[in-house]
Amino acid sequence: MSYMEEYRRWLTEVDEDIRGELQAMAGDEAAIEDAFYRDLAFGTGGLRGVIGAGTNRMNVHTVAKASQGLANYVLANFPPEKRQIAVSYDSRIKSDLFSRVAAAVFAQNGIRVWIYPQLMPTPCLSWAVRALGCAAGVMVTASHNPAKYNGYKVYGPDGCQITTEAAAAILGEIERLDVFADPRRGDFDALMAAGQIRWIGEDVYTAFVEEVKRQTPVGPEEAMDRNVAIVYTPLNGTGLKPVLRTLRESGYTNVTVVAEQEQPDGHFPTCPYPNPEIREAMALGMDYARRLKADLLLATDPDCDRCGIAVRDDSGEMVLLSGNETGMLLLDWICARRLANGTMPAAPVFVKTIVTTDMAERIAAKYGVETVNVLTGFKFIGEQIGLLEKAGRADRYILGFEESYGYLSGGYVRDKDAVDTALLICEMFAWYRTRGISLRERLDQLYREYGTCLNTLYSFGFEGSAGFRKMQDLMASLREGLAEIGGLRVEETLDYALGLNGLPRSDVMKFRLAEGCSLVVRPSGTEPKLKAYLSVTAPDRAAAEKKEKCLAEAVSARIRAV
């Protein structure tokens, strides 16, 4: 069926709300094509797309179809006593509606559903899956994407985002379904009254908070002044209650919340791109910190699985730290505290992604910690925790992080956790502050010890069907080979689509360059973007920035020339 035929079919099948949006497209063939040229992609990241009418959009029909596919998968692969699915949702537009649609489909298929009675972070969903013994979990979120997006993350029984194999099996079920005829859409309230859908209890949430609080590596006898001034922003997402509760119960009461970004709001009025990686999203919080003379700003993204920070530098200005810089500080501090307090396990393991700074490996080696490199995506870090658990050595895992602001210090959940990260950062900040050291000073000490390493990320948008084809063409051209980039010789080319080093096949290219530099290029798995990760090494910061600028310009020119 052509995209125009599918468009006409939707006009006859949908309710008035969606029909009005479809009628507004009439005569705009490009808009119709973009909304209907394909089904919204389903993979290991689940679904993610623009909210609206069409097969390539997030709406009640595409959510119901995906949910029926997941229901079919659970019914076919799990015994009756394990046929349970946990559901949570964030503050995004229609997240509550989509979560109820999904829950009602699962329940109508005879699957027991557990759903949080209010919006809750992604790590709370991962926790609930394991705590309640579920076969799967669904988190309705588009993470840190702009307000026009929503999404649908799927988790396996281990609390990790689903594997490639599970995603393929679920996709197979979805592809057999007609979007209107096949989903079994029940009535949420009636199914709740019948006991087929149940609220996740306060005891489950409290158990999560207690587990997070146990993650601190600070010994009970160590001197700590926790009355430090901290500014926190949940960026209008889910982090407000769990982060403040965890900090308060851990002794942090001098915390000011950015009022304009305090309450859940899917329109994100003060930060159109609610991502703590982006300076614009952090600007309001940094203003608060300057006014209040606070030395630390914490920010969590809408589903509270990423955490970014800003700290005061020597001149008194608030400066943002990158995900790599925060991760290196945490790794060094956690290792040092565990060794000092006798809590470092035998044969400890640190896990990072292939695009995360290599400097972290040098820090881990100093403390006798093994580094495991995995593909981009925190699910691969979660997978490593599961492997250690199966071997009876889950205690070996001490930290995992990725450059995109995702961290986890324990195996209690299997996805990145910004509640855990917020506590760890506050503990680290207060520990150093008590000893007269700022986080910026400690970072400079690390650079003097291990060498200056500068890591940057550039994203290039490829919207619509034409953009998708251009992105594919670019990756194909990179696989033809490069001799040099930005004047730096290519010393080694790694194509992870071939399944290198025992890792799953992935559409990622890495170029090891002369002078200790590297470039990684990969299409985003969740949004229409191509991401380029640059890593440069140099004797000092100024030299590193100069080299990075030259390399970035060359990479940008190459990508935009396609």
Active site residues: 143
3-state secondary structure 440-483: HHHHHHHHHHHCEEEEEEEEEECCHHHHHHHHHHHHHHHCCCCC
HSE (CB half, 13 Å, CA atoms) of 8?
4
Q: Collapsing DSSP states into helix, strand and coil, what is residue 173?
A: helix
| H-helix segments, 26-113 | 29-36, 60-77, 95-108
The Cα–Cα gap between 295 and 282 comes to: 14
| Distant-in-sequence, close-in-space partners of 324: CB < 8 Å, separation ≥ 6 | 356, 357, 359, 360, 403, 453, 455
Do the Cβ atoms of 373 and 383 come closer than 8 Å?
no
**Six-digit token pair at 468?**
């998708």
Do the Cβ atoms of 18 and 59 come closer than 8 Å?
yes
| Distant-in-sequence, close-in-space partners of 435: CB < 8 Å, separation ≥ 6 | none
The Cα–Cα gap between 411 and 529 comes to: 31
- Please name which of 131, 149, 192, 126 lies closest in space to residue 58, comparing C-alpha atoms: 149
**Six-digit token pair at 212?**
């997070």
The Cα–Cα gap between 477 and 378 comes to: 28
